[in-house]
């Protein structure tokens, strides 16, 4: 007989079920949530979903956000260094085309004004607090609305029952300490979980300090633009997570969440020492100090209605404040036509950005059971109100001309803006023919509006931008047998233009204009695949074809007749497309051994020009060889990653991204059940390589952009 699991269990189960690559008895009945917003066996989902469990994060020693998806072909966490991970890329879609969520709370969009003084990215997430990550590949707008045109990265932080090991009253404490040589970082995380009567609580605190993320070891440690070593930096991180849940009665459960993230990056920018932005204007003593914070407060309520309209309801209201503060110090000398304009001018270009949001999410679930089939109905609504603001100030500590110190507003390139989005959705999953056939259909309506407001650094005024959209999807899975289940899905997507797309202005070197008349992007995606499993194997193969209309990109539209500078603006292009294929599999071997394989290929182009899309990753494959002892006392994993070259770009003079191969080895040892020791050696062959995304728009590659050579890490985790 079918028994419906409540949404509370569904959310708590996200990625926490026995994962394919866990250090325990293998099970291939993986549970996912992101594809349907309800708990489902992955075999019943009509689209591709990638998962990274807590066991995966631990066994692969993923100590930072960038590493969490490095063994997941078709998905990348992009960016590193001073500003950290910039965004996530799913099948060639990145930036604001991929929605990033933490516990159902949407993270702010990436802000990159093009200069080196400021970046603001959705990366204020401490990986030690994560219970797991799901990536829903392909358009997910019919469930998640705008920004999910390329997919969703859903991260769930730990709950008390992820730490507690009994069903009764219990206190459990944990300490995790680790070291990573790639950035000389020491990290410590303390955990306390408690259940007492109707109360459950979780408290986690993380502190880390380290240095810059290294480039390859043969990079020149010199000052100036030929520097190959990373700029030296000191880093410090604090993160706190507190959750409390109260079971009011059998029908009601309420929860409160508080999360605070604080990271400081203090850098001496030796790569800009002596740099001349144009003849006669020279930089020296360049340094930067960035502080990035995120504060989240959330209240949620789970209600077992058991009524005609719904079996259960969960609603969440959250407040989130995300801020970045960058202080950029330098000394400049300016000489024109042999005459000094100023000498030894000392300034601080202070750049402050914030996103202040209120978010509400509500979801109903209802199961309708008939004699030979049943339906899982899911419907709800979401609301987001976000205030984006910039405050740029140029502090002239020493004028260089004899004038007294002063301060003045700096150009922001963007207005302040209020963004408001709301949507409603409905989904029906029908389980027919004794659950052999699973049909999924869903529809969503979204409305969005952006209201700009001039600030001290952006005097121009613009009209608001608003639009709405209906998106839908249909999918089917047919279980011919456990060993073979084909699936197909057709889905629509859309993406509202961001504040950056609409209003950005930049006038240093080339000239960039936003476009307040941009239309929302739209997509139509097709996916066809099949998956299967047996006692000792699991596999999945999928192909996808995505068409994008009104695709937003930056194009050159002319030349300034007065200065000869190129003029660029944001435009909607008629059509772009991305297609590709992916495959993955796991085979269990004798005596605790296993092999896993995954490969991803994609191709994307602007249909009008025939030029390739720079955001599409080259062919990537990963082979893993692992071993777990019978009692999980010890084991290890060898991962071999192969990435092809990328030599086709939008611009013909873009430098080729070379192919590379990486070998990583990790191992663990448990002398007792609650104590785990881990060690890892990464880039064992000391390969010198560049990530393709770091070479986008570059005419040459430098040692400064290389990734780290051979490096290692160790950790210890103990619960009591």
For residue 500, the 8-state DSSP code is H
Residue 508 has pLDDT above 80, yes or no: no
Reduced to 3 states (helix: H, G, I; strand: E, B; else coil), residue 142 is helix
Q: Each residue of 686-706: pLDDT tens digit? A: 999 999 999 998 999 999 999
Question: How many domains would you assign to the chain?
Answer: 1
User: Rounded to an integer, what distance in angstroms lies between the CA atom of residue 712 and that of residue 682?
Assistant: 6
CA–CA separation, 106 and 194 (whole Å): 28
Residue 255 CA: distances (Å) to CA of 14, 246, 642 = 17, 6, 44
pLDDT of residue 81: 85
Beta bridge pairs of residue 195: 170, 200
Q: Which residue would you say has higher pLDDT here, 193 or 568?
A: 193
Q: How far apart are CA 149 and CA 172, in angstroms?
A: 41
**Quick one: pLDDT band at residue 510, thresholds 50, 70, 90?**
confident
Place of tokens 């019943």: 44
Percent with pLDDT over 70 in the chain: 96
**Is a pLDDT exceeding 50 seen at residue 675?**
yes
Q: Considering the entire predicted model, what is its pTM? A: 0.92
Residue 651's pLDDT is what?
A: 85
Cβ-based burial of 591 (10 A; exposed 0-12, middle 13-18, buried ≥19): exposed
In this prediction, residues 330-334 reach a mean pLDDT of 94
SS (H, E, C) 388-439: EEEEEEEEEEECCCCCCCEEEECCCCCCEEEEEEEEEEEEEEEEECCCCEEE
Can you name the residues that pair with 124 across neighbouring β-strands? none
Both tokens of 32, joined, read 């996912």
- Parent domain of 89: 7-719
Cα separation, 157 vs 149, whole angstroms = 24
Q: How far apart are CA 476 and CA 49, in angstroms?
A: 15
Q: What SS3 state is found at 696?
A: coil
Which residues 6+ apart lie within 8 Å of 264 measured at CB? 235, 236, 237, 289, 290, 291, 292
CB 502 within 8 A of CB 455: no
What is the pLDDT at residue 27? 63
| Digit-coded pLDDT (tens) for 6-53 | 333 333 333 333 333 334 446 677 899 999 999 999 999 999 999 999
Over residues 633-638, mean pLDDT: 97
CB–CB of 622/75 below 8 Å? no
What is the pLDDT, as a whole number, of residue 611? Answer: 87
pLDDT of amino acid 605? 92
Q: Give 208's contacts (C-beta < 8 A, 6+ positions apart).
A: 185, 186, 187, 188, 235, 236, 237
Query: Could you read off the pLDDT of 191-237 as tens digits, one per residue?
Result: 999 999 999 999 999 999 999 999 998 889 999 999 999 999 999 99
Average pLDDT estimate for 238-254: 98
The rounded distance, in Å, linking the Cα atoms of 563 and 308 is 69
Contact indicator for 125, 261 with CB cutoff of 8 Å:
yes
Collapse the DSSP code of 592 into the 3-class scheme (helix H, G, I; strand E, B; otherwise coil) and give the result. helix
Q: For residues 632 and 675, is the Cβ–Cβ distance under 8 A?
A: no
Q: 106: which 2 tokens?
A: 């949407």
Average pLDDT value for residue range 495-521: 88
Q: Is residue 522 within 8 Å of residue 493, measured between CB atoms?
A: yes
Asked whether the predicted pLDDT for residue 615 surpasses 90, the reply is: yes
> Is residue 197 domain-resident?
yes
Strands (DSSP E) contained in 199-311 are 199-211, 233-247, 252-268, 276-278, 281-303
Residue range 390-399: mean pLDDT, rounded: 93
Contact between 646 and 692 under an 8 Å Cβ cutoff? The reply is yes
The mean pLDDT of the chain is 92
Tokens of 216: 């390859």
Q: How confident is the model at residue 277 (pLDDT cuts 50, 70, 90)?
A: confident
pLDDT of residue 73: 83
Of 422, 428, 438, 412, the closest CA to residue 496 belongs to: 422
Once rounded to an integer, what is the mean pLDDT over residues 577-596? Answer: 96
Which H or E element spans position 684? Answer: none
| Mean pLDDT, residues 475-501 | 95
**Position 1 in a domain:** no
Structure tokens at 18: 């026995």
CB-based contact 317:298 (threshold 8 Å): yes
Q: Which residues contact 590 (CB under 8 A, 6 or more apart)?
A: none
- CA–CA distances in Å: residue 453 to residues 390, 468, 684: 11, 22, 52
List, in order, residues 6 or more apart from 117 with CB less than 8 Å away: 288, 326, 328, 349, 351
* pLDDT tens, residue by residue, 432-461: 999 999 999 999 999 999 999 988 888 888
Q: How far apart are CA 711 and CA 625, in angstroms?
A: 20
Beta strand segments in 644-674, E = 660-672
Is residue 201 one of the residues assigned to a domain?
yes
Q: Which pLDDT belongs to residue 26?
A: 60
Contact 634, 669 (CB under 8 A): yes
Is 148 contained in some domain? yes
pLDDT > 80? residue 2: no
Q: Is the pLDDT of residue 467 over 70?
A: yes
**CATH code, domain carrying 492:** 2.40.170.20
- The residues, any chain, with a CB within 8 Å of residue 135's CB and separated by 6 or more, are 34, 49, 50, 51, 69, 72, 75, 88, 90, 151, 152, 153, 154
Residue linked to tokens 């979980």: 193
Checking if the pLDDT of 608 tops 90, the result is no
3-state secondary structure 5-67: CCHHHHHHCCCCCCCCCCCCCCCCCCEECCCCCCCEEHHHCCCCEEEEEHHHHHHCCCCCHHH
Nearest of 148, 661, 107, 631 to residue 384 by alpha carbon: 107
The per-residue pLDDT for 411 is 84
d(CA 205, CA 492): 41
Residue 2 lies in a domain: no
Q: Are strands 99-102 and 87-90 parallel, antiparallel or unpaired?
A: unpaired
Q: Give kind and range of the element (H or E) at residue 526.
A: strand 521-533
Per-residue pLDDT tens digits for 554-566: 888 889 888 888 8
Average pLDDT over residues 41-66: 92
CA angle at residue 675 from 672 to 676, to 5 degrees?
110
In the prediction, which pLDDT does 315 show? Answer: 98
> For residue 165, what pLDDT is reported?
95
Burial classification of residue 201, based on how many CB atoms lie within 10 Å of its CB (0-12 exposed, 13-18 middle, 19 or more buried): middle
pLDDT score of 484: 97
């Amino acid at each position: 007989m079918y028994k419906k699991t409540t949404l509370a269990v569904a959310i708590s189960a996200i990625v926490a079920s026995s994962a394919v690559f866990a250090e325990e008895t293998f099970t291939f009945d993986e549970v996912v949530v992101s594809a349907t917003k309800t708990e489902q066996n992955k075999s019943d989902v009509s689209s591709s979903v990638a998962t990274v469990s807590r066991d995966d994060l631990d066994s692969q020693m993923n100590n930072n956000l960038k590493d969490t998806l490095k063994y997941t072909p078709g998905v990348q966490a992009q960016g590193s260094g001073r500003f950290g991970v910039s965004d996530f890329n799913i099948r060639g879609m990145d930036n604001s085309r991929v929605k990033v969520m933490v516990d159902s709370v949407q993270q702010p969009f990436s802000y990159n004004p093009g200069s080196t003084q400021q970046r603001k990215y959705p990366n204020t997430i401490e990986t030690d607090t994560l219970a797991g990550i799901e990536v829903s590949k392909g358009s997910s707008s019919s469930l998640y609305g705008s920004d999910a045109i390329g997919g969703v990265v859903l991260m769930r932080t730990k709950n008390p029952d992820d730490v507690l090991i009994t069903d009764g009253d219990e206190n459990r404490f944990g300490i995790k300490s680790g070291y990573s040589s790639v950035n000389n970082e020491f990290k410590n995380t303390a955990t306390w979980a408690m259940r007492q009567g109707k109360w459950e609580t979780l408290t986690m605190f993380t502190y880390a300090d380290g240095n810059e993320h290294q480039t390859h070891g043969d990079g020149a440690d010199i000052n100036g633009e030929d520097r190959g070593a990373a700029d030296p930096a000191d880093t410090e991180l604090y993160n706190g997570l507190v959750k409390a849940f109260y079971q009011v009665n059998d029908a009601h459960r309420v929860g409160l969440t508080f999360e605070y993230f604080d990271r400081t990056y203090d850098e001496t920018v030796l790569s800009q020492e002596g740099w001349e932005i144009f003849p006669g204007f020279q930089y020296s003593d360049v340094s930067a100090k960035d502080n990035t914070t995120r504060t989240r407060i959330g209240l949620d309520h789970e209600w077992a209605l058991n009524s005609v309209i719904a079996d259960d309801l969960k609603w969440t209201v959250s407040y989130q404040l995300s801020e970045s503060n960058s202080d950029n110090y330098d000394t400049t000398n300016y000489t024109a036509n042999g005459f000094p304009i100023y000498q030894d001018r000392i300034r601080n270009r202070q750049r402050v950005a914030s996103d202040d949001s209120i978010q509400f999410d509500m979801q109903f679930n209802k199961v309708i059971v008939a004699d030979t089939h049943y339906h899982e109905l899911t419907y709800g609504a979401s609301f987001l109100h976000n205030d984006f603001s910039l405050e740029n100030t140029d502090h002239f500590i020493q004028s260089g001309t004899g004038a007294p110190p002063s301060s003045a507003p700096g150009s922001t390139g963007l207005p302040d803006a209020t963004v408001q989005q709301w949507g409603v959705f409905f989904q029906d999953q029908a389980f027919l023919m004794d659950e052999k056939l699973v049909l999924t259909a869903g529809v969503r309506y979204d409305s969005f509006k952006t209201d700009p407001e001039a600030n001290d650094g952006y005097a121009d005024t613009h009209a608001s931008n608003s639009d709405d959209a209906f998106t839908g999807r249909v999918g089917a899975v047919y279980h011919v047998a456990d060993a073979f289940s084909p699936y197909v899905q057709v889905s629509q997507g859309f993406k509202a233009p961001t504040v950056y797309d609409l209003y950005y202005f930049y006038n240093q070197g080339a000239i960039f204009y936003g476009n307040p008349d941009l239309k929302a992007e739209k997509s139509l995606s097709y996916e066809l695949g099949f998956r299967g499993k047996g006692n000792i194997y699991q596999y999945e193969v999928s192909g996808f074809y995505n068409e994008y209309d009104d695709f937003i990109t930056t194009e050159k539209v002319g030349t300034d007749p007065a200065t000869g500078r190129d003029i660029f603006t944001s435009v909607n292009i008629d059509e772009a497309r991305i297609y590709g294929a992916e495959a993955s599999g796991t085979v269990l071997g004798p005596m605790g051994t296993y092999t896993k394989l995954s490969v991803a290929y994609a191709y994307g182009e602007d249909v009008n020009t025939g030029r390739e899309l720079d955001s599409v990753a080259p062919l990537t494959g990963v082979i893993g060889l692992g071993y777990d002892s019978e009692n999980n006392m010890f084991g290890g994993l060898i991962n071999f990653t192969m990435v092809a070259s990328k030599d086709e770009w939008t611009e013909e003079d873009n430098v080729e991204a070379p192919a590379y191969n990486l070998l990583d080895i990790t191992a663990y040892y448990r002398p007792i059940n609650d104590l785990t020791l881990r060690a890892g050696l990464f880039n064992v062959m000391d390969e010198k390589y560049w990530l393709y995304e770091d070479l986008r728009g570059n005419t040459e590659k430098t040692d400064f952009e290389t990734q780290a050579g051979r490096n290692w890490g160790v950790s210890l985790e103990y619960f009591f």
